[in-house]
Amino acid sequence: MKQSSSTEEQIWSNRTGLEPRNASAVGTGNKHKSSPFLWVIPLLLAAIMGGLLTYYYNQESRINAHVKKLHLEAEQAALAGKYAEALELLDKALVQRPNVGAFAQDRQITAKAYNLLHQMDEAAKLLKTGRLSEADKIIQTAAKTLNEQQEPVFEKARAALNNRKVTLAVLKVKKEIDQLTTVQALADKLKAIAGLSGKEAETVKQQITDKLAGISYKQAEQMVKKRDFTAALQTVDNGLSYVPDDQKLAKFRDEVLREKKAFEEAEKERIRLAEQQAAEEDLRNQTSSVFITDLSAELDDYGDLHIRGSIVNQGTRPISSVSLIINVNSSTGDYIGETDAYVYPDIMDVGEEGYFETSYYGVYEAAEVTVTNAAWYVE
């Protein structure tokens, strides 16, 4: 019976699957245990669903952690002015979380900062090539945009804008000072840019002071040549009032004082010695004492020509206050202009070598220089 009963139960089970037995079957004389599948399968399904949910939760948590890390790195890069890197990180975050508004908003702000920085690079190129008007328009437009943005991410773009403003102001002044030829005009321009800062500003300030000192030096030299020592000292002192640290001008003031004293003490002696000189020696010393041993010219980044050279006293007596006239010609031989140069030391003994340097402003091209005239006093 048990065998027969067991067989019938298997058949029933095979025919009905997980369906419950009918009442008559349940109520048979032999009581049977419930099938284990009735509770194992739901538990198995619950376990599978729980596993899937856990996997999904962990996966989403990893994605959230990853995009959060990307967002933080993008923020740090943007604040450091690495806009391109920040944009790349934000794009990666948006691929995984395209519906997060904070990512899209930060990307928009970073892109604006990146574009502004790019505009400043364009302005720098224009300034470097002297296209000041075009650069000025870009700078003004960028300044207007930045005035409306207070986010820290714009600091690098703002710093670049401030640098371009200074460069523009400096180049405008640079263009003007090429035309200034008096100490007073240069002093006024120096006051006008006193508030500017930065490398370019310091460069143009130095150029103004160098030119101012050079003009003072040349004017004083001309007065010394005329033996007007009082006027020469006044000119040097005026120059030093604007450029008190100029060593060349300060040294020249000492030389003027010494020469003034020597001139006053030795004037009669010089006349006596001059009268005793032999005609041949006098002619040689007056016409051939100065021999040019070196002459070179270098064009700087601002279009100015810096001229240097040396001479030797090949006469038979010391000479002093040697001045040269130097012609400046283009590479094709066209005349550009001329400038004066004064040799130091002021007094040169026989066979002694002297040096000179001067500048010609606003050439803007390679040029050739030649000494066309020299003048000096024979001691």
Measured between alpha carbons, how far is 14 from 59 in angstroms, rounded to an integer?
Answer: 42
Instruction: Estimate the crossing angle of helix 199-225 against helix 183-192, to 10 degrees.
Output: 160
Question: For strand 367-378 and strand 290-299, is the pairing parallel, antiparallel, or unpaired?
Answer: unpaired
The pLDDT tens digits of the residues spanning 134-182 come to 888 888 888 888 888 888 888 888 888 887 887 777 777 777 777 788 8
How far CA 368 is from CA of 218, 326, 363, in Å, comes to 22, 10, 11
The pLDDT tens digits of the residues spanning 33-80 come to 556 556 666 666 666 666 666 655 555 667 677 777 877 787 787 788
pLDDT at 23 over 60: no
Measured between alpha carbons, how far is 291 from 285 in angstroms, rounded to an integer?
Answer: 11
pLDDT-derived band at 20, boundaries 50, 70, 90: very low
Q: Which of 238, 232, 239 is nearest to 255 (CA)?
A: 232
Check residue 36 and give its pLDDT.
Answer: 58
pTM of the entire structure?
0.41
Q: Which of 302, 77, 128 is nearest to 120 (CA)?
A: 128
The pLDDT tens digits of the residues spanning 303-359 come to 899 999 999 999 888 999 999 999 999 988 899 999 999 999 999 999 999 999 999
Planar angle of CA 27, 29, 30, nearest 5 degrees: 100
Sequence-separated (6 or more) residues with CB below 8 Å from residue 304: 207, 359, 360, 361, 362, 363
Query: What values do phi and psi take at 368, rounded to 5?
Result: -110, 145
pLDDT-derived band at 28, boundaries 50, 70, 90: very low
DSSP string, 190-225: HHHTTT--SHHHHHHHHHHHHHHHHHHHHHHHHHHH
pLDDT-derived band at 295, boundaries 50, 70, 90: very high
Q: Residue 202's Cα: distance from chain center in Å?
A: 12
DSSP string, 115-179: HHHHHHHHHHHHHHTT-HHHHHHHHHHHHHHHHT---GGGHHHHHHHHHHHHHHHHHHHHHHHTT
Instruction: Report the largest interatomic distance among the alpha carbons of the chain, rounded to a whole angstrom.
Output: 166
pLDDT over 70 percentage in the chain: 81
The predicted model gives 280-286 an average pLDDT of 72
